Amino acid sequence: MPEQKKIYILLPDGIGLRNFAYTSFASIGKEKGWNIVYWNHTPFNLTELGLQEQKLEGRASALTDLYKRARKEIELTNFEKQYQDSIYNSYRFKAKGGSIKNKVKNGIVRFFEKKYAGDGLHKLREKIKDKERSTSYYKDCVAQLKKTKPHIVFCTNQRPVHAIAPILAAQYLGIPTATFIFSWDNVPKAMLVVETDFYYVWSTFMKEQLMGYYPHITEDQIVVTGTPQFEPHYEVEIKKSKKEFCETYSIPQTLDYICFSGDDVTTSPHDPIYLHDIATAVKKLNAKGRNLGIIFRRCPVDFSDRFDQVLEMHKDIVYPIAPKWDKIGGAWNTILPSQEDMTLLANTVRHSMFAINLGSSMVFDYISQKKPCLYIKYNPKDIPLQKDVFKVYDYVHFRSMPNAKAVFWINSKEDIETKIEQALTDPKETCREAHEWFSVINTMPPEKASERIWFALEKTIDTCI
């Protein structure tokens, strides 16, 4: 009997849970005969989901994190020169100030940035690896892998520094490694931290991006698979009727719902104003005979009170349904999605007619169920402007949109009523263009992504034998 193939699915943080623990990914792999172990660096207990896990303890070196910050700055500078485009400066994180400790760290990052600028980037990447190989964390990873002997290590997220040591340990032992680029906007933002043997991407578009930004990655290292992120929209067994959905979340069954999905406070600090403007427009439409309500789904990592006033003001038509995420720690990456939220999101889309937001990937959740999205594209008036909305749509990932008609654009507060009416009465062309955009950024059909990833993993192992 052939040996059962064992995979270690590396979860360096909670980001990968949504794609690889809460979808049908694991069950598909088991059906194909894989022995699946989640190499779990999160505080979440995966055995509660019936999944096999190996806890991963330890942390990256503090110096590695500073190296990583310098690497990002150098890469963004290189991207700006390569493409003659200042947009890459928008992707720089504002350094934390205040304390002496933060000032020292910032000074060290600036020193590394100058030392390894330009052609020195390769040396910096090797410095990161050398530093991680010197840690007890790396040595523990080597010891675990020697004992368990997986056939491949698959990292669910290319960003965390805590993933570097486990990947290096696998490579030291000759175990093939792969990583998944988890978000549609990550490549141009210089968010590639781990270096693996293979890179699994959403689309041919992302593959071309990866080769353009990282010429040391060759075409045969990149595998186009799609993302499991949208698979729940196609799962019949999690569908809820409108009656059940409304009763579960204590909202009226008699209303026709639109969804306002919030962004994080950095991307859209003016979201409360936008929600107020939309609620005001909806009340005007209802006065003309519409029967609309608003489901408010806040950004999962936004636990602020910034919406409280507007929610109280419009409580007769705005119904908040909070994402089912668990706040286990203080940092954003310790706020973990739950499996229940996958069902909630799919049914929120199912029982609302369209979404309104500022440049969110929710456009793809909605087009997965053949529904349109409205993008907000105006700055609030008569207030100190904290973020220029027009800069958001300059980001590189929006350039994947083949046609501006892929969404309805709300270009002013006064525009809201008209655009809502258009979305209600004539969404066909926008849905058609949105689906074309979806086909650019994600491999079709979306519901088969997990199967394609397992096929790719089989092929990766065969390639490395």
Condensed to tens digits (0 to 9), the pLDDT of residues 240-295 reads 999 999 999 999 999 999 999 999 888 899 999 999 999 999 999 999 999 999 99
Q: What is the pLDDT of residue 1?
A: 47
Determine whether 261 is exposed, middle or buried from the number of CB atoms within 10 Å of its CB (0-12, 13-18, 19+): buried
Determine whether 289 is exposed, middle or buried from the number of CB atoms within 10 Å of its CB (0-12, 13-18, 19+): exposed
- Check residue 236 and report its DSSP letter: G
* Parallel, antiparallel or unpaired: strands 355-357 and 177-180: unpaired
Domain 6-60+135-227+446-464 sits in CATH at: 3.40.50.2000
**β-sheet bridge partners, residue 320:** 296
Is 338 a residue whose pLDDT tops 90?
Answer: no
Query: Is residue 76 within 8 Å of 92, Cβ to Cβ?
Result: yes
Is 214 a residue whose pLDDT tops 90?
Answer: yes
Domain 232-441 sits in CATH at: 3.40.50.2000
Of 151-160, 171-180, 301-310, the range with the lowest mean pLDDT is: 301-310
Residue-wise pLDDT for 81-94, tens only, equals 999 999 999 999 87
> Which band of pLDDT confidence, cut at 50, 70 and 90, is reported for residue 78?
very high
Is 309 a residue whose pLDDT tops 60?
Answer: yes
pTM of the model: 0.95
Torsion sign across C-alpha atoms 284, 285, 289, 295: negative
Sequence-separated (6 or more) residues with CB below 8 Å from residue 185:
395, 396, 397
Sequence-separated (6 or more) residues with CB below 8 Å from residue 346:
232, 233, 235, 238, 239
Tell me which residue has tokens 């525009």: 415
Query: Is residue 40 within 8 Å of 46, Cβ to Cβ?
Result: yes
Is 332 a residue whose pLDDT tops 60?
Answer: no
Q: Where in the chain is the domain with CATH 3.40.50.2000?
A: 6-60+135-227+446-464, 232-441
Average pLDDT over every residue of 366-373: 98
Q: What is the pLDDT of residue 464?
A: 78
Is 239 a residue whose pLDDT tops 90?
Answer: yes
